[in-house]
Chain A
């Protein structure tokens, strides 16, 4: 299987005197979803725009699968789908036409165009709007079409800039499901977002950026334990049966658990002291308890805490 990669090499972008991106070095490889986090104006969109040749780097290079996205734009972007900011579509075109245009540009063979367009429109639940003019669509509907456009031609690399922005809560959760789906189809996804729960739900890793500088990059757990100061992590678990007080007390008594917090009858946050080995032990113990464990992941609140710690001084 080919290895996909997104790589920034000494990437710098200046707007006049203002440095939006400062010597960014970041290499994402393999098939996973990487969240791109940072406060407003941190340089997330700027980074993604350089990768899609929308703006030019002042210096440094942006590589997709090893190819320079400016110098070799056509080949570099041929296996990359992107959704940057909030694109508009020629208003008199229908989704079918607009997506056919993208399919043609991306070199999808004529025989596959129709089925692939139907497939992506079904994925974003817009198939019934296929023949209506985009000009009359709501913001959320347009954003769904934009997501569909990024998926045309089944690109292995996806660059998504706040993909759930502009959507209603249901739309947001649908888009999250779409991205999770995509992740399971062996792709490399780089997604900016400022919704931490979204990132911790979808992403395997995070890159954190502020003032155009990369602050951290790694697995969410590692980042959380590294930046939370203490050797501490918060795990969110979901079980299939309501948790009784007895069970909760048993969990509280497990090795390394410092506290627990109920998020619902079947969902709790577990604060844990100790590194990955403690997490592994905890997972084993919980399984042994036969409480119907179905989700075990870094808690959104942990990421949030880390985030707030990290960006305390900025803004």
Chain B
């Protein structure tokens, strides 16, 4: 199977790359800082229950690792074949382009899974230290499952942009700006100012991984009416995606970005 061949060698290349090492280092450093700070200060808000522990430790950090992984491994996965001219080595062979795309996608995903796995291990290790062996509630595993779905989706979107642009810097830049700024800004604007549920934003759907870590799953719409003078200006509505909604949003993003990315790559010319 040609997809598997590409996966094997692309993963080998990722695994040996400097960026793999750097990202692993970043993950370990984040884990070490959390371990140190919480071990030293022992804040009550974190250690009061396993759920609040996970909510802060895992819920507050993991999306950063997901996005970094997607950008590190997916940002130039396809554009690099063109800009770095490695495509000239591969594409003239009897292989379908989709096999190259999917093989590299899987390789990037597996490389990212190592990062998530590493952070999962650090998180669980600390949880066991504070709460004992019974300290892995089902919500954490649920959250892990949603994080993995988020990773799949984020990687799909990154690959789409990597397929769309011809240069690595462009595709990386667009992905980073989108995930770190645009999505959250639009989400806030739409929800707070327009009072519309941001169901079309992937990060909104993805946030179910942290929602499940709250002691009771938040209500779909939580109005925070703090306005006295002008009720319209300060009327902010908080939306929380429900689990089926979140899963659907992520799957839809993944499916469309992957189909789009595949089509773009299929048509892209090596010039």
Pairwise interchain contact B84-A88, C-beta atoms closer than 8 A: yes
Residue A93 CB within 8 A of the other chain: yes
Residues 45-81 of A contacting B (Cβ, < 8 Å) = 49, 52-56, 73-78, 80
Residue A87 CB within 8 A of the other chain: yes
Q: How far is the CB of B72 from chain A (nearest CB, A)?
A: 15
Q: With A55-B271, A56-B269, A93-B9 known to touch, is A86 a contact of B88 (CB < 8 Å)?
A: yes
Q: Among B6, B88, B93, B96, which residue has its beta carbon within 8 angstroms of that of A106?
A: B93
Q: Among B5, B13, B96, which residue has its beta carbon within 8 angstroms of that of A104?
A: B5
Which of A23-31, A95-103, A230-238, A239-247 lines the interface with chain B? A95-103
Pairwise interchain contact B271-A146, C-beta atoms closer than 8 A: no
Q: How far is the CB of B263 from chain A (nearest CB, A)?
A: 13
Cβ–Cβ < 8 Å partners of B9 in chain A: 90, 93, 97-98, 101
Chain B interface: which size bin? 20 to 34
A84 to B92, CA, bound (A): 8
Chain A: CB-nearest residue to B9: A101
A111 to B48, CA, bound (A): 61
Cβ–Cβ < 8 Å partners of A77 in chain B: 92-94
Residue B226 CB within 8 A of the other chain: no
Cβ–Cβ < 8 Å partners of B91 in chain A: 52-54
A159 to B94, CA, bound (A): 14
Residue B89 CB within 8 A of the other chain: yes
Residue B221 CB within 8 A of the other chain: no
Chain A interface: which size bin? 35 or more
Chain A: CB-nearest residue to B270: A54
A90 to B14, CA, bound (A): 10
Pairwise interchain contact B86-A88, C-beta atoms closer than 8 A: yes
Cβ–Cβ < 8 Å partners of A80 in chain B: 94
Chain B: CB-nearest residue to A78: B94
Cβ–Cβ < 8 Å partners of A56 in chain B: 267, 269
Pairwise interchain contact A101-B5, C-beta atoms closer than 8 A: yes
Q: With A54-B88, A101-B5, A146-B89 known to touch, is A90 a contact of B13 (CB < 8 Å)?
A: yes
Residue B12 CB within 8 A of the other chain: yes
Q: With A92-B16, A101-B9 known to touch, is A149 a contact of B269 (CB < 8 Å)?
A: no
Q: Among A15, A91, A105, A149, which residue has its beta carbon within 8 angstroms of that of B5?
A: A105
Residue B224 CB within 8 A of the other chain: no
Pairwise interchain contact B96-A74, C-beta atoms closer than 8 A: yes
Pairwise interchain contact A105-B94, C-beta atoms closer than 8 A: yes
Residue A82 CB within 8 A of the other chain: yes
Q: Which 6 A-B pairs have the closest CB atoms?
A: A87-B88, A52-B92, A54-B270, A87-B89, A92-B16, A77-B94
14 sampled A-B residue pairs with Cβ under 8 A: A52-B91, A54-B88, A54-B92, A55-B269, A55-B270, A84-B88, A84-B92, A86-B85, A87-B88, A87-B89, A92-B12, A101-B6, A102-B93, A107-B94
